[in-house]
Structure 1
Amino acid sequence: MKLHRAVLRACAVMLVSTVAMTGAMTGAASAASYELNINTALTTDDPIYKGLERLRDRVAERTGGELAIRIFPGSQLGKDEDVLEQARAGANVAVVVDGGRLAVFVPEFGVLGGPYLVSGFDQVRKIVTSPMFDAWNAKLKAASGHTALSFNWWQGDRNLLTNRAVTGPADLAGVRMRTPGAPVWMETIRAMGATPTPMGWAEVYPALQQQVIDAVEAQTPAAYGARLYEVTSHLTKTAHISLITGLVTSAAWVDSLPAEMQTALKEESLAAGDYASGLTGESIVALEADMASKGMTVTEIDVTPFREATAGVYELLGYTELKQTIDAMLAE
């Protein structure tokens, strides 16, 4: 088994090296001494992508072009889990990823995807710039060889996209709903009344079109970018999860950079996360209005039944004390 994992990691490094060489051959970042390839499942019009462009440009400016960043939208480098494995092997790749996918290495990260954990970006930022989060990141480096450059990439609140009206958990009985495969996401959707169905983001549109799934839960910018208003008819604003994501890469690769370059990369990653999160907040009202103009019914509901239904998820996954710690932090 260990040999098998070693072979996979070696192949991952070779794959990313090939991608980098291809980029160099086409003239991309050929003058740079160091290069970071960033993967995201999102489209180029998403606010998070705009933040990545800002990061690319500011890092190039601060390092005199010595550190080049290349962005791969639409999961061009593979699924998030695959890119995390490449980073674990020491490859020069990064991925915009939620805490649930890191929980397999450090369980505490999973709480970031918990239901109704925060309200708004200010609370998100308070958590992910805290000494508590820094301790999680140190554990991540020791456990898997990853490091989060920043984790303040807020993608908005996740809502329900269905083909029938939803007012409470009972309306989701028997509904096959796509969600990421991390336990905190799966248990949240199950507690909300639906049947969680994990699959890659790129598969969602055809799966809805072919009725492989009945519904999806997602944040508004991603739902709009994926044109889900074409294959669903109702957007119900449950805001059940605030999507907190970060830019995660290889700790060994970061450590190989000159000290001043490491500082520039981390500082600009945090600044870009703030920028992208601000764009996300600004975009949501306009995007929902546009989806409504295309025929989607956008509905505000009383989320109390969903909040009550999902309250037990923290205890189920062993996050009771951690949730209390976060609640106390946010109340300060």
Structure 2
Amino acid sequence: MRRFLYLILFILFIVLFSACGGEATSSSNGEEGEVYTLKVATALTESDPIYQGLVSLQESVAEKTNGEVKFEIFGSGSLGEDSDIIEQAKVGANVAVLTDAGRLAEMVHEIGILSAPYIVDSYEEASEVVKSDLFKGWEEKLANEHNLQVLSFNWYQGERHLLTNKKIEKPEDLQGVQLRTAGSPISLQTVEAMGASPVGMAWAEVYPGLQQGVIDAAEAHHSATYGANLQEVIGYITKTRHFQLLTGLVAGKGWMDDLPEDYQDIIYEESLKMAEEASHNIIESSAEVEQQLIDEGVEVNEVDIEPFREATDAVYESFEGYEELRDEINKILEK
């Protein structure tokens, strides 16, 4: 009987050992390793080309790391506010966020100029700036002083325009309009300089805000407008092109440093690559999305943007060093 019990215990031990071993994953060098999971947050919906670019990034990173690096994507702001996620990333949490330069300016003042009005006129110009030594210096500050690591900063979401329920032709038409924008200081001041009363509000709250009259207007790029179904609660889009929205995928430096070096390289390379593909998809689909908005009842107006450009020129004076930084960027772009 005792031998029989020993035999049973031995069999159970073998079964349990095998089960535990089955849960281990193999690393790139063939040894057993762990799975690294990064939770990626975005305010975008699943239909947005940039969201789809994040899905492509998720798939390519998983493939190239043999499933040992997993990206979990949380859309529609479901993981929380950008600023909260940034704080979590800074202290080592396994989170990342697709965010704009205005948010990061709270840590590195200079980077906020990428969210300034009319600082660049196209994706090509924006892309050239983020490849420059000037931008690399800002990246290093984020990493060394704030424990934030930029994985890529070439996720282009498009030109931002005014979304209203009355026709806008010039800045004076915005007087008295409660207009939602991102909560960063430079976004708020830009909207105010254009003539409206700025309202900082989470993107997920814009639809009910317009529907219920809490706000009168908003500003956004076409893919976000259509993805949030704002065509149901606005009448007009005025193509002011006041922001070229370039965003970055940002994680915690501590979390990245804990990864094997080859996995870090894969994440950087694939992030840049998938961002570029997604950005070109945005550009190529812009006319089609605009036509869909028109087909669903929105009037799209082309206006002279020079009065809006002139009105927002004073924004640069409100931020220390931004006039000089604009000159540096113009030199990079040979403008």
Same-fold call, TM > 0.5? Answer: yes
Q: How far is 1:57 from its partner?
A: 1.1
In structure 1, C-alpha distance between the alignment counterparts of 2:132 and 2:68, rounded to whole Å: 31
Which residue of structure 1 aligns with residue 87 of structure 2?
Answer: 85
SS at match of 2:333: helix
Match of 1:133, as an amino acid? F
Distance in 1, Cα, partners of 2:85 & 2:200: 18
Partner SS for 1:311: helix
3-state DSSP of counterpart to 1:138: helix
Give the corresponding residue for 1:217: 219
* Segments of 4+ moved more than 3 angstroms: none
- Corresponding residue for residue 289 of structure 1: 291
What are the within-5 Å matches in structure 2 for residues 22-171 of structure 1?
Answer: 33-171=35-173
Tell me if the contact between 1:32 and 1:65 (Cα under 8 Å) persists in the aligned partners.
no
Q: Which amino acid aligns with 2:95?
A: V
Q: Which residue of 2 aligns with 1:314?
A: 316
Task: Give unpaired runs (5+ residues) of structure 1.
Answer: 1-30
RMSD after superposition: 1.1
* Length, aligned pairs only: 302
Q: Which has the larger radius of gyration?
A: 2
1:217: how far off? 0.4
Residue in 1 aligned with 2:334? Answer: 331
State the partner residue of 2:233: 231
How many Å separate the matches in 1 of 2:117 and 2:128? 17
CA deviation after TM superposition for structure 1 residue 124, in Å: 1.1
Query: What amino acid does structure 2 have at the position aligned with 1:37?
Result: K
Residue-by-residue CA offset, 1:35-61 (whole Å, 9 max, x unaligned): 111000000010111110111111111
Question: How do 1:245-324 and structure 2 match up within 5 A?
Answer: 245-318=247-320, 319-324=322-327
Pick which of 194-203 and 74-83 moved more. 74-83
Match of 1:200 in 2: 202
Contact 1:173 1:194 in 2 (8 A): yes
How far does residue 206 in structure 1 lie from its aligned partner after superposition?
Answer: 0.4
Superposition deviation, residue 109 in structure 1:
1.3
Residue from 243, 266, 286 that aligns with 1:241: 243
Q: Aligned AA for 2:310?
A: E
TM-score (norm 1): 0.89
Counterpart amino acid of 1:263?
Answer: D
Q: Secondary structure at the match of 1:331?
A: coil
Inter-partner Cα distance in structure 1 for 2:187 and 2:257: 32
Letter in 1 for 2:64: R
Gaps of 5+ in 2: 1-32
Displacement after TM superposition at 1:91 (Å): 0.5
Measure the CA separation in 2 of the matches of 1:204 and 1:282: 26
Q: Deviations over 1:117-147 (max 9, x none)?
A: 1121111111112111111011011222111
Shift of 1:32: 5.9
CA distance in 1, matches of 2:162, 2:175: 14
Alpha-carbon distance in 1 for matches of 2:268, 2:92: 18
- CA–CA separation in structure 2 for the residues paired with 1:265 and 1:80: 21
Q: Is residue 178–residue 199 contact of structure 1 (8 Å, CA) maintained in 2?
A: yes
Q: Given residue 330 of structure 2, which amino acid in structure 1 is its aligned partner?
A: D
* TM-score, normalised by the number of residues in structure 2: 0.89
